[in-house]
Amino acid sequence: MPELPEVETVVRTLAPHVLGRRITGATLLRRQSLHPLSLPLERLRGLVITGARRRGKLVLLALAPDADSERPSLILPSLLVVHLRMTGRLLPRSAEAEAGPHTRLILGLAAPDGEVRRLFFDDTRAFGQVFAATPGLLGQWRFWRELGPEPLELTRAGFSRRLAGRRAIKAALLDQHVIAGIGNIYADEALHAAGINPKQSAQTLTAEQRGRLLDALKAVLRLSIAQCGSSIRDYRDADGNVGAFQNSFAVYGRAGLPCRACGRPLEKCRVAGRATVFCSRCQPV
DNA sequence: TCCTCCCTGTTC
DNA sequence: GAACAGGGAGGA
């Protein structure tokens, strides 16, 4: 399940495959995989991919009209936004590659020398979406408008301010309005590293605890990015490679196994509707 | 603020 | 053949 470190890795590995290439066509194989606010994907044709970056868990490909293309009469997208959700993958393939059972979108991509390849958006569970957008359309997307700050750029004061409210601290970490990019894996890992119980009310955290939690969150995200993310089941980067951070999990997926810090068996519960693993000794209530 | 639904492959 | 995995929308 791609969270911030996995999406960061996808963007980094995808960039050399797509930057400077012109979109020769788009084939959408599942209507619901297109965001309802998206411009028609036919308008991608002729646009050049000029940038690849990440915001939260979103992949953002910057688009620009070809230098020698005529002035268009239609509004053209300046951004292709991809939300991988649970099982989405962006896979560079040859021009001859054909759609698999879970292929949702195929883009044709031509290099400046004319060599054509394809970019596949495959998504087994079909939760992911693509969105051909303009800044104006993004502004209409509530999720985008209200997306919280990047955790790696967040200060302690900023983090503290965003933790208002009485709900469980884990629920706050998972809320993309509070911070962008955190999912179930990194919420559990950061809470364990900081020694904070996932069900503790965000409001009752001391300033020291909040500071420790933000530091732990940044550390776990940076460590995972350095290891190209975590591969649980479906996640692969754009080169088809798995990450290595799953080998460093302290709690995620380790219920019943001994805590790496104290040896007590890890416990499992549900917080905010999500499976949650924690150590009752290292993360007391 | 919490619960259900969407979706499909894997595990029990 | 049911339970489970889970991000986010939408409803209670």
Nucleotides on strand B lying under 7 Å from protein C-beta:
1-10
| Per-residue pLDDT in tens (0 to 9) along chain A, 285 residues | 799 999 999 999 999 999 999 999 999 999 999 999 999 999 999 999 999 999 999 999 999 998 777 767 899 999 999 999 989 999 999 999 999 999 999 999 999 999 999 999 999 999 999 999 999 999 999 999 999 999 999 999 999 999 988 789 999 999 999 999 999 999 999 999 999 999 999 989 999 999 999 999 999 999 999 999 998 777 788 888 889 999 999 999 999 999 999 999 999 999 998 999 999 999 998
- B4 C1' closest Cα residue: A273
pTM recorded for the entire structure: 0.95
Please state, in angstroms and rounded to a whole number, the distance separating the CA atoms of residues A104 and A5.
23
DSSP character at residue A270: E
The strand C neighbours among A residues 189-248, by Cβ under 7 Å, are none
d(CA A63, CA A79): 5
Q: Does A170 qualify as catalytic in the annotation?
A: no
- Say how far apart CA A7 and CA A14 lie, in whole Å: 10
- CB within 7 A of strand B (chain A, 67-96): 86
* Beta bridge mates, A133: A79
